[in-house]
Structure 1
Amino acid sequence: MTDVLIADDHPVVLRGFRRLMEDAGDVCLHEATDPIGAYRIFHRLRPAVVVTDLTFQGDGLAGLSLIRRIHALDRQARILAFSMHHDPVIAARALENGAIGYVFKDAGTAELLRAFEAVRTGTSYLDHALATRVALLNAVVHRTPSAELNARELQVLLMLGKGMTYVGIADALFIKYRTVLTLCAGMRRKLGVRSLAELIQIAIAQRERDSA
């Protein structure tokens, strides 16, 4: 029997994944709807496989932090990122933080099962097209602006792309308003832009790439 932890804040996704695991067989499923709850379950039960979304309501790309914390606790953790984000930069971040597989939420059932089974056996999983795009990030001509950003900066960038204010971002991430200002100033410096308007344009472009 394989213990599996799924972390996602969408009931429909949890229900669908539960059915998927019934098809996989020989699985004991544990569920969490937020990163804190997921980390606590992992700390207590040490499931063999962790499947996690990257984006949680009001908390940006908190799934990246969850992956990093689990990996720091257990270097052998088998983590599958299960995400709507098609941007290779975000996929690369998930792998850098400790995931060994990455699969899109809109993938077919057969592919989801292939990804799960690969990760369950300790084998990395990326579909060929995404693997190629991630590999191309090493070539400067193929880098997207957000490749320069860390996980927290990506969180803030995504929130800016959704039209959130500095105050709203600070409240959602439970950080100080001044911290948001500092993060945005750092992003402007890294991305070579001078104004908030230009930064928001990049954020919107990033969001459009994710949904493409």
Structure 2
Amino acid sequence: MICKLLLVDDHSLIRAGVRALVSDIPGYTVVGEGNDGNQVAELVLQLDPDIVLLDISMRTTNGLDALTQLRASGCRSKVLILSMHTDPELIMQALESGAHGYLLKDTTATELEQALTALRNGERYLSPAIAHTVINQALLRTQSFKAPTSDNHNLTARQLEILRLIVRGKSTREIAHGLGLSIKTVETHRSQIMKRLQIYDVAGLVLFAVREQIISLDD
């Protein structure tokens, strides 16, 4: 089944660039475009997209306001923020306002496909480049922590080590190289971590690691 996308960005060149990238990804199609946040709700109602690719900074109604409106309307579409902004507070606001993922505009075609696949599968996605920023911001905004115990996570020392690297945005290949493991071994550990925690996306792992104090500002 083809996954329908709606692009909302006030720069026509950005929309054209994203549309070109999407055209090379099997299973996805752009069904509509908008150039301001105030068009989002109406376009979603008309086109019923599976995923909305939404900019934050736009002329009249910004992406955060559009997100709030979509959530209030009971919209079923997933929202992937596509922005140049790396401000941690802004990223957190977007996630708290209902965004299912946050992708930087200098992304590659491969990462765009990864993000779209994650949202299509009911997961969340954060660009690896901003994962550490989000962790730091979450830590700063958390007033108290529940000390981690084996009962909370039931992970081995090696799995905890790999979890820390995952939430810091390291790829499977980077983790394997850094720890002297095979890629297959790291993939197995990653799968076991997600299965034990019942968390199947990086954003969820980040929040878990923060809550359980598995990572810190010094990580």
- 1:64-107 superposed Cα distances (whole Å, 9 cap, x missing partner): 11112112223643110000101111111111011110000012
The one-character-per-residue Cα deviations of 1:42-80 (angstroms, maximum 9, x if unpaired) are 1222211111000013x4x71011112112223643110
Given that 1:31 and 1:38 are in contact with CA atoms closer than 8 Å, whether structure 2 keeps it comes out as no
Give secondary structure in 2 for the equivalent of 1:102.
strand
Secondary structure in structure 2 of the residue aligned to 1:71: helix
Match of 2:53 in 1: 51
- 1:101 corresponding residue in structure 2: 101
Counterpart position of 2:133: 133
1:25 counterpart SS class:
coil
Query: Is residue 2:10 matched to residue 1:9?
Result: yes
Match runs of 1:1-212 below 5 Å? 1-29=2-30, 30-57=32-59, 59=60, 62-74=62-74, 76-140=76-140
Helix, strand or coil at the partner of 1:132: helix
SS at match of 2:29: strand
**Pairwise CA RMSD of aligned residues?**
2.2
Distance 1:43 1:132, change over 3 A: same
One-letter amino acid matched to 2:111:
E
State the distance in 1 between where 2:16 and 2:140 align. 41
Larger fraction in helix:
1
Give ranges in structure 1 of 5+ residues lacking alignment: 143-212
Alpha-carbon deviations, 1:10-46, whole Å to 9, x = none? 1111111111111123333111111122221112222
For residues 95-122 of structure 1, give each alpha carbon's deviation from its aligned partner in whole angstroms, at most 9, with x where no partner exists.
Answer: 1011110000012222122112212222
State the distance in 2 between where 1:129 and 1:28 align: 26
Distance of 2:84 and 2:4 partners within structure 1? 24
Structure 2 distance, partners of 1:120, 1:141, is: 30
SS in 2 for 1:43: helix
Identity %: 31
Q: Secondary structure at the match of 2:24?
A: helix
Q: Which amino acid aligns with 2:130?
A: L
Give the distance between the partners of 2:50 and 2:98, measured in 1 at CA.
14
Counterpart of 2:191? none
Residue pair 1:3, 1:49 contacting (<8 A) in 2 also: yes
Displacement of 1:129 in angstroms is 4.3
Measured in 2, the distance between the counterparts of 1:11 and 1:66 equals 19
- The one-letter amino acid paired with 2:114 is R
Please give the TM-score of this superposition, normalised by the length of structure 2.
0.59
